[in-house]
Amino acid sequence: MGLLAFGTPLVWSDAKKYADHVREHGITQFLHIWDRLKERTGDELLWGDELEYMVVSFDDNKKSANLSLRQAEILAKLNTIVDDISSDCPDHISVPKFHPEYGRYMLESTPGSPYNGSIEDLLSVENNMRYRRNLARKHLKPNEIPLTFTSFPRLGVPGQFTEPYHDPKDAISSHSLFLPEEITNPHARFPTLTANIRRRRGSKVAINLPIFFDEKTPKPFIDPAIPWDRDVYPEDSEAKNGAALTDHIYLDAMGFGMGCCCLQLTFQACNVDDARRLYDGLIPIGPILLALTAASPIWRGYLADVDCRWNVIAGSVDDRTEEERGIKPLKENKFIIPKSRYDSVDLYLSNDWSNRPEYNDNPLPYDDQVYERLRNHGIDDLLSKHVAHLFIRDPLVVFAETIDQDDTSSSDHFENIQSTNWQTLRFKPPPPNSTIGWRVEFRSMEVQMTDFENAAFAVFVVLLSRAILNFNLNFYVPISKVDENMQRAQKRDASASSKFFFKKDIYTTNPSAASSVASSSGSNTPVDGVPRKKEKKMGNCFTPPPPPVIAPHVGPVEEEYEEMTMQEIMTGKGVNYPGLLALVEAYLDTLDVEPHEMQKIRQYLDLIRRRAEGKLVTPATWMRNFVRNHPDYEKNSTVSETINYDLLRAVDEIERGVRDAPELLPKSYRGGDKDQGSIGLENGFAKQ
């Protein structure tokens, strides 16, 4: 969630006075990092996941499930437990860590230290995730459960949805009609961020999701749960004055988006150039895995006609003014900005010759002065545009105590802007005075209900990232088509019913690779009769694709891609596109993997294959079907308190392995009751 500094946050009217100061010094800080580390190379593969939970409090007598707002108390206890376990641990064992998030009901967990490129570490991910979940669960109240669940189905309904209850009329930061102030982490950053987005924008955020029309859903749908006539804050009239759309579910606060849970992965690259290549390679993958992990079809107590969270979060932090949104002519602001500061990537970054200028086909507003400053410092065109584009945004939270910094040893001003540009991928420079290298963060996926699923997608992305770099794969399609894929990915049942723009020939720069990768044996073809040596660990330093000896035929970019189904993207189409899964298999063939290790990896890949083929459903489809088949469901799109209780109980039972869900998970699935995870400690958890 970005920087959690301590100090006195400035309200927007004061913070905006320092916007130019933060931008100027942020660029200075970036340039110091660049000068010190632009030549850094040779870093090994280190990577990690961020896994988020919501803590749900169950009342079995009332058949209700509410969000527990005990984050601070829970984290204090968990951090003490982690410290106790760590004090007894051998040096080679790292205890997972827990962190605060935006919602006061949320927990974020990470491995205690990054994973490396070994197969052993790759296959420890599920154990580590299970250990984290069970460690948290062990130290909650008996009626509280940590769920990896993307969006709480009844967040913002009239009445109680938190434990304890709080009145939305006291939402002094968001002025929401639906969410109380107490939903937000009380750390000064979070309510200030919430309030300053509203103040800068000049109105509350406004998100409208299409309602899912069932047999008895009223047409037109005009939401009776909106307090249309409330008169507490100046913005209360916005809903009836057009912000709330007919036939839609209206959401009006940052908490609806930043209160979602997700799964994110970060990779350390060998050097800055490899980081840029990996960043570009994963950009077209973002919407594909968003669709395949879809897990949020219910919002504010209604079934929506979408399956994913992305547009909700994008809208929830959209601080653009009417001028920046193009509603009014520019007068007070400098730029018309096409997207929210939380959205899909706007620019490919690699300087490789295969990155054609035509791929960056979207309008890209950027700060000319920042761009010229970076160019004059010797930074290339694409990276200069990337940073200058990020820096058209204002800093939203400025602490009085950190306005003046030592730009040679701090990157706080740079990160103030960088960390509040939330995109599908994030290109991350090394922190000052750190051993950490150039990194790429993959951010699009929805969190899954079980640690098996979360581990499967983590393992898949790690292996795919290696395949991209190892085989010099070319996934480039125009950025505009990636944006269109992002919108398609969020539609109901997109994984099974939508098509996505994808590259037809990923070997355009190296046609000979096609047959070798497709056969999953090319990297081990004997050389002079001697089989090539298989690697014990996943690599991290790769030779960039050389320019072709003979210039290839370059036709219109429109000829390079076509619409493909999810199954085709994952399992292949035609001669020159074997599918993402075959590419992963080909990379695995370069590694020395034991049979039992390969068996486990194949279980993960099989989950992804079967979901792509439609043989297993997405979590979103499973949830929608659960609601529509519930005996209390009135076929009117409404998710009642009882349905919500039963749904979340079922999710917990599936995770623990005491409820079968053959349409969602393979028969081999072992739940948390039988497998509580491990980090290598003989005695498991700390003493009570």
Cβ-in-10-Å burial (0-12, 13-18, 19+) of 3 comes to middle
- Which is higher by pLDDT, 500 or 532? 500
CA gap 462, 466 in Å, rounded? 7
Residue with tokens 């935006």: 102
Side chain identity, residue 466: R
Query: Does the pLDDT value for residue 522 go beyond 60?
Result: no
Lowest-pLDDT choice from 4-8, 85-89, 556-560, 561-565: 4-8
C-beta of residue 463 within 8 angstroms of C-beta of residue 584 = yes
Instruction: Please measure the distance between the N-terminal and C-terminal CA atoms of the chain and give it in whole angstroms.
Output: 31
Q: What is the pLDDT of residues 36-63, one digit of tens each?
A: 999 999 999 999 999 999 999 999 999 9
Nearest CA-CA partner of 411 in 382, 380, 387, 386: 387
Q: What is the pLDDT of residue 509?
A: 55
Q: What is the pLDDT of residues 198-220, one digit of tens each?
A: 999 999 999 999 999 999 999 99
Pinpoint the alpha helices (H) of 112-229: 119-122, 125-138, 189-201
Q: What is the pLDDT of residues 105-139, one digit of tens each?
A: 999 999 999 999 999 999 999 999 999 999 999 99
C-beta of residue 462 within 8 angstroms of C-beta of residue 580 = no
Average pLDDT of 156-182? Answer: 98
Q: What is the mean pLDDT of the chain?
A: 94
* pTM more than 0.75: yes
Pinpoint the alpha helices (H) of 592-638: 595-612, 619-628
Q: What is the pLDDT of residue 676?
A: 95
pLDDT over 70 for what percent of the chain?
94
Cβ-in-10-Å burial (0-12, 13-18, 19+) of 547 comes to exposed
Q: What is the pLDDT of residue 295?
A: 98
Average pLDDT of 82-102? Answer: 95
Q: What is the pLDDT of residues 291-338, one digit of tens each?
A: 999 999 999 999 999 999 999 999 999 999 999 999 999 999 999 999
Query: Does the pLDDT value for residue 687 go beyond 80?
Result: no
Beta bridge partners of 59: 64
Average pLDDT of 173-185? Answer: 98
